Amino acid sequence: MECRKCGACCIALSVSTLKKPAGVRCPHLLPDNLCALWGKPERPWACSAFEPDPDFCGSNYLEALRLMSRLEQICVNANILQGHLPPQDRR
């Protein structure tokens, strides 16, 4: 799958190295939904490693937000159950 450049992953997912919470637009996401850090060494590994996939991106922007928000919540819940999140980060 080719990236639609919709920016859903840069909004729905948290990025701990940037201290960016889930559901908040990344400060490096430009108005055209392209990443200002694309191709730069300071781009977080998690962002560089993310690859578009229909299971995460769905067929449109709104579906991508819904799917990725659900993925984020599953990951947060798994971390809480495993005791990986400090108390202040638990939801």
pLDDT in tens, 17-73: 999 999 999 999 999 999 999 999 999 999 999 999 999 999 999 999 999 999 999
* Phi, psi for 86 (deg, rounded to 5): -65, 155
Give the mean pLDDT of 79-89.
Answer: 57
- The residue with greater pLDDT, 78 or 22, is 22
Going from the C-alpha of 63 to that of each of 20, 72, 84, 87, the distances in angstroms are: 21, 14, 29, 31
**Other Cβ atoms within 10 Å of 18 Cβ, number:** 16
What predicted TM-score, i.e. pTM, was given to this entire model?
0.81
Residue 11, pLDDT > 70, answer yes
Going from the C-alpha of 84 to that of each of 17, 18, 43, 67, the distances in angstroms are: 16, 18, 24, 23
Looking up tokens 């980060």 gives 89
